[in-house]
Chain A
Amino acid sequence: MTARIGVVTFPGSLDDRDTQRAIRIAGAEPVALWHKDKDLKQVDAVVLCGGFSYGDYLRAGAIARFSPVMEPLIDQARAGLPVLGICNGFQILTEAHLLPGAMLGNDHLHFICRDQKLRVENAETSWTTDYSAGQEIHIPLKNMDGRYVADDYTLDQLEAEGRVAFRYVDFNPNGSLRDIAGITNEAGNVVGLMPHPEHAVESLIGTGRTDGLPFFTSILKKLVTA
């Protein structure tokens, strides 16, 4: 029996099929979830994928956060369901207050697409155990609203608790405070980041690196050994 990992499609989601492919490549079973259904189909984990849900017209993730599917998701995430938010998914998680802080427009005011170097700061979350702490990886980044902000108190708390999961290395692509690329909740089951691990799982595609695959193998291991 393998793990079943849900991928939510909102109107305007873009990387849903790509994320399903990454889950499949890692050896788990992707399960399509629909934003209008208050039903998580008993999946073992959920990925909120990248895109421009509802056009990101109000604020990135602000409208999707009120979708029916988010009701059970918020409840179950609080109860320990592993949830990974990638890019728009990260934005939705902050809007839903499952993760602290907020995402704002890139400080240079442009969309940015690049192969981004990151450091894995926390290799103990549900989604990062196949990395080692301090490991440097390259993951494609592509977004308009990638600037992570939170007040100093929150930032200090995140740092103190080791909840900064990923940091930008060499180049901060969007003005995120303290070079934060991704964070986790206290329990380590909810993780959000701006770069796209699902686009770094095949050696021929994109940047040609597979540095993103451990996200999906980490969760798979956790779920099958659980």
Chain B
Amino acid sequence: MSRTPLDTVEHAAATPDVELPWAELGLKKDEYERVVEILGRRPTGAELAMYSVMWSEHCSYKSSKVHLRQFGEKAPQSDALLVGIGENAGVVDVGQGYAVTFKVESHNHPSYVEPYQGAATGVGGIVRDIIAMGARPVAVVDPLRFGAADHPDTKRVLPGVVAGIGGYGNCLGLPNIGGEVVFDACYQGNPLVNAGAIGVMRHEDIHLAKASGAGNKVILYGARTGGDGIGGASILASETFDDAKPSKRPAVQVGDPFQEKLLIECTLEAFAEKLVVGIQDLGAAGLSCATSELASNGSGGMRVTLDDVPLRDSTLSPEEILMSESQERMCAVVEPDKVERFLEICDKWDVIATVIGEVTDGDRLEIFWHGGKIVDVDPRTVAHDGPVYERPYARPDWQDALQADDAGKLPRPATSEELRDQVLKLVASPNQASKKWITSQYDHFVQGNTVLAQPEDSGMIRVDEESGLGVAIATDGNGRYAKLDPYTGAQLALAEAYRNVATTGAKPLAVSDCLNFGSPEDPAVMWQFAEAVRGLADGCLQLGTPVTGGNVSLYNQTGEAAIHPTPVVAVLGVIDDVARRTPVAFQEEGQLIYLLGDTREEFGGSAWSQVVHDHLGGLPPRVDLERERLLAEILISASRDGMIDSAHDLSDGGLVQAVVESALLGGKGARLIVPDGLDAFTLLFSESAGRAIVAVPRSEEVRFNDMCGARGLPATRIGVVDGDTVEIQGEFTLTLAELREAHENTIPSLLA
């Protein structure tokens, strides 16, 4: 209910002494004073609502901004980059006139509170970012992290999250083509639910979030606005600011994927008819964000009449309407003579659409309610001039001891028997086990363009039916590596995603990331963050893959205990003809298995050290990005020229994990010989980076060897595809049936 008198701009100017609940809304004293200074008076309740949400950590990136700048400063020269950081999502040229947009975002905290809806609305949000760029969404991915697999709460959170991601994505008609599932006690209480989406468009269809052209109309369309996710704003809705009683507003947002599917279709139809000047999705901070960003990115100002916003709950106050995070809403800027057609399209799709304002030739964002002006601000000060913190950071004092606790000193299997048991234990461990129970809850086939989906190294989508042009995406992160060394850990995540894309035959082009960390107010966490960003930015520069956008999720911690620093990296690649893609599964008996790259004694942060010794210490594997680039070139050439029939990158779990996966997927075994200079244990379990296995038809062996030799990539023949066992000569033999049982039963027996 609105206060009497309405807290208009005039009223605010006339009542400078009214105390506003800025602290309750999460603003610091100096931030509030800055608002007063910007406005030259106290803010109205509505203005305070806008500044407080837009200047929150989530919207303003106030703790992370100073570090994220490196992504721009160190951005590699890339002809492929069409739209970089700062827009809803980055856009990359993939050739033949096509552009691809992609991004990863987090929905961590909401998914802990209400796993199904939290995860579902996470998918909804990232997909709206993609639509807002002008693209048709074509796929989603979902990197997920949970507490210990056998913890009772994991049984609550994981099935709900998976059902929510599936429930939303399946209903939208988006194939789920990749992701991760990682279990670690450090995520207990702070599961990480990251969601990524890819969209495809023609170059000329790229749209940006800006409102230009005085007289153009601002149209809000999609779901009605309810009291979702308002949180602190309810204080502003009380009769007087000081007599604040918490009003009954839901903290959890419920998603409606059906509504979002209609939003996709009607938005794309409006794009196709060139009806849209600028567009913005409504996500965090709802209308506050959409109006201030549209206005500040455009050339003029904007005038909005809040009374015209369609409401689900008629008791909402203007402040609440501005802060509401109701899902499935978009905001478009449309020229006056095209408004009618725009509304017709919305009507065709049964989508509610309302003109709520217009672009003005001033430079102010003005918002009216019941005839009074309740907001009059420079939109740039809301959207872009938020506080920037140089938070103190310091290498934690425990880091040295952690790194000194070398995993190389852990006892190794003494007998072949023990080695065999550890292999079985590894492939059955929750992190290495098959995730089929989870991924079979996702539609991989819808849209009819899925070339590769899980459990392949990267997901791959055909973009053009005629030419076979396709895009690939892989997401990776390893919190254990990053905990040991955040700089290297971030680069290893990048290297792994890059390698996964190349393993399927696609050329890596660009990067998006989701940076999940603990509290930035802890200097140790802030150091992890700073190091990870530096590592990622340096790595992207070296690999020539620009960061096009991403997301930061901080405060993932319970009390003093932060999660492992967890930078999740998504790499997007392009392939000229999807007919040349390389699958993981062994295809034919008799093909030769080659190990590409160097294998060193590297066990720090390894799956083996975790599964067998419950140990985390030492240094993560070394990174050599030049080697990664060379490996990628070889994998891509080999796929293009038909020299290999399957390939699998080596990462956590090492070579044995990869061989077992390729064997089980293909239903064909392998006979391996330990090459000179290596022992069986190191061959099987080392996690040295920059490696892959490939299966080479005998007829291609000479050509393949020549290529590797000429370009200086170590390629070692380690065995042959054969039979229905995995045999390590002189050590042990495991049948595919045994391996399958170990690999595939773990997750269902924990969760089903």
Contacts and interface: CB of A to CB of B under 8 A. Distances in A.
A140 B445 contact: yes
B166 A111 contact: yes
Given A113-B440, A144-B170, A18 B163 contact: no
Interface in B177-203: none
Contacts of B167: 111
Interface string B339-367: 00000000011100000000000000000
Interface stretch (A9-17, A127-135, A154-162, A215-223): A9-17
A138 B441 CA distance: 19
Interface in B280-328: none
Contacts of B349: 11
A93 B439 CA distance: 29
Contact of A12 (B261, B446, B462): B261
B12 to A, nearest CB: 43
A142 interface: yes
B27 interface: no
B662 to A, nearest CB: 17
A41 B59 CA distance: 50
B451 A57 contact: no
A111 B170 contact: yes
Contacts of B261: 11-12, 14, 52
B448 A199 contact: yes
A112 B436 CA distance: 11
B20 interface: no
Contacts of A55: 171, 256-259
Interface string B454-465: 000000001001
Given A54-B258, A55-B256, A204-B579, A113 B451 contact: no
A6 to B, nearest CB: 18
A188 interface: no
Given A12-B261, A55-B256, A205-B462, A21 B448 contact: yes
B258 A205 contact: no
Given A11-B258, A11-B349, A55-B257, A17 B171 contact: no
B449 A205 contact: yes
Contacts of B446: 14-15, 18, 50, 142, 199
A14 B173 contact: yes
B467 to A, nearest CB: 13
B447 interface: yes
B163 A206 contact: no
Nearest to A13: B173
Nearest to B162: A110
A208 to B, nearest CB: 9
A196 interface: yes
B262 interface: yes
Contacts of B468: 204
A206 B444 contact: yes
Interface centre among B163, B256, B448, B578 (most CB of A within 10 A): B448
Most chain A CB atoms below 10 A, which of B440, B462, B578, B579: B440
Interface residues of B, number: 34
B154 interface: no
B442 interface: yes
A196 B444 CA distance: 12
Given A11-B258, A11-B262, A52-B171, A111 B448 contact: no
B87 interface: no
A160 B182 CA distance: 51
B491 interface: no
B171 A12 contact: yes
B447 A18 contact: yes
A179 interface: no
A195 to B, nearest CB: 10
Contacts of A17: 447-448
B441 A113 contact: yes
A113 to B, nearest CB: 5
Contacts of A144: 170
B503 interface: no
A114 B258 contact: no
B232 to A, nearest CB: 32
Interface in A113-131: 113-114
Interface of A: 11-12, 14-15, 17-18, 21-22, 36, 50-52, 54-57, 110-114, 140, 142, 144, 196, 198-199, 202, 204-207
Given A12-B261, A14-B172, 14 more contacts: A14-B173, A14-B446, A18-B446, A22-B448, A55-B256, A55-B259, A57-B258, A110-B441, A111-B170, A113-B442, A140-B445, A142-B445, A204-B579, A206-B444
6 contacts: A11-B350, A17-B448, A55-B258, A110-B163, A111-B166, A142-B170
